[in-house]
Amino acid sequence: MYSHDEEGPDFDVEIDEIRPFNGHLELFPDYFILRSPARYYPSMTQYRISKINYQGYYLEDCLTNSLDPEDYYLKAWHYYDGNMRHIASVVKYNDPPSYTKFECILDTQGRRIEETHYSSPDSLDWQATKHISYEYLLDQPFTLNWDFEKHALYVPGYLMEQCGIGDIFYLNDDYPIQLLSMMTRNSEGQWSEPVVFYAEYAMLNEPDYDRIYVSFFSLDLGYGYNLRYGPHGLLEQYMCDNPEDIPSFDFFYKHSVNTSVPHSPQMPDIRLNLWPNPVKQTADLHYSLPKASPLQISTYNIKGQLLKREQHNAIKQSGQLPWSPSDAGGKALSNGVYLIRVEGAGFAATKRVIVAK
C-alpha cells in the first residue's frame, strides 16, 4: 500500500490513504494467488491479483475492476533465468488493446548491462521505445544482502504508472550501479540523445534494520530521483526533483516477517556536501555522520577506477575535511565527473563531484 500527499498554496490533495490489507489468499503446490484491493483514484476501487511463488517472486500480475481475473485492464507475465534474475516481462493492456515488454542482457556476473523496452498493438509487430545501459561503480559487491530485483516487482513500473510516478531504475542485488544511459524513441521513430543518470549511495547498518539511500541525478535534465530502501531492498520512499512530476510517495508493507518495516522510520543522520562544486583548485568535504568514526575517503573516475585513497583516523561526528582534485601521485585531475566514496564504521556514502578548471 502507499500514501501520497501533495500540498500547495491552493490545494491539499490526498490521492490514497493508508488502509489495512483486506485481500484473499489461495494456496497451490508451487505458488499462491493473492487478491488484494487497490485504489489508484479516490472514486474507484480496483484489485491486484498476483501469482507468486513461495520464494516471493512474482510470476503473473493483473489489475482488475473486480475480483474476476478475466475482467483485467492490465496483465503482466514475468520471466527469470535459472538463478531467478529478472530477464523479461510482457504486459498486456485491454483498453485500448496493446502490449509492452522489456528484455535485458546480463553479464557473466549476472548483472544487467542492457535493457530494451518495446511496444506493440498486437504482440506480433514490436517496436523498440527505450534503451538503457548500465555501468557499475566497483567490482566489489555490497557487504549487505539486498533483494532489489525480487522486490522491484512488489511495486513494478506498470503499477507506478497508475499512481503517476516516473522511472524507477533497476538496482543490482550485489553491485552498486555507477551510472546509466537512457535513450527514448518518439512516435516518428527518432531516437533521443543519451541521457546519463549518475548514482549516489548512502548506507546505514544497524543490528536489526538496514537502509540504503539511492539518488539518480542527470546533469542533462537538471533533476533526478531519490529513493529510500528498507529491509531486504523494499522501496520505502520515492522523491523526484522534477517540478513537473508528483514530488513524493511513501510505501508501507505488512505481510511477512522478512519484509516488515517498522512504523515511521527515521532518516539517519548521514550527510555529505562538497563546497565548492564544481571544483577548480580545492574544496571542503562537509560531513555529518551517525557516530564518530575513522573515515576512508576514496576518489574514483567515471569508469570506476580508483585514483586515490585517504585515511582519517581522529574524526568527530560532524566537521569538514579538505579534498583536492588530484590522484595518489599528486597529478591534477582533468575536467570531468568523479565520485568520492566515504566509508566508516557501519555506514558508507558516495558523493558526485565535477572538476572544472
Contact in structure between 152 and 86 (CB atoms under 8 Å): yes
The grid coordinates of residue 37 equal: 484491493
Grid cell 504482440 — which residue?
123
**Which CATH number do you get for residue 300?**
2.60.40.4070
Instruction: Give the integer Cα–Cα distance in Å for 239 and 219.
Output: 17
User: Can you give the pLDDT of all 357 residues of the chain as single tens digits?
Assistant: 333 444 333 333 344 444 455 567 888 888 999 888 766 555 556 788 999 998 899 999 998 887 777 788 899 999 999 889 999 999 999 888 999 999 999 999 899 999 999 999 999 999 999 999 999 876 666 666 788 988 888 888 887 776 667 678 899 988 888 889 999 999 888 999 999 998 888 766 555 556 788 888 888 888 888 888 887 788 888 888 776 665 677 777 765 434 333 333 343 456 788 888 888 888 988 888 877 888 889 898 866 678 999 998 867 888 888 999 999 999 999 988 888 888 887 777 778 788 887
- Say yes or no: 110 and 214 in one domain: yes
pLDDT in tens, 253-284: 765 434 333 333 343 456 788 888 888 888 98
Instruction: Give the integer Cα–Cα distance in Å for 112 and 177.
Output: 10
- Say yes or no: 130 and 110 in one domain: yes
Which one, of 266, 237, 263, 253, lies nearest residue 4 by Cα? Answer: 237
DSSP assigned state of 265: P
Instruction: Give the integer Cα–Cα distance in Å for 310 and 340.
Output: 11
- Residue-number span of the structural domain to which 234 is assigned: 18-259
Strands 44-53, 58-64: pairing is antiparallel
Q: Is residue 323 part of a domain?
A: yes
- Residue 240's pLDDT is 80
How many domains are contained in the chain? 2
**Which CATH number do you get for residue 22?**
2.40.160
- Residue 264's pLDDT is 35
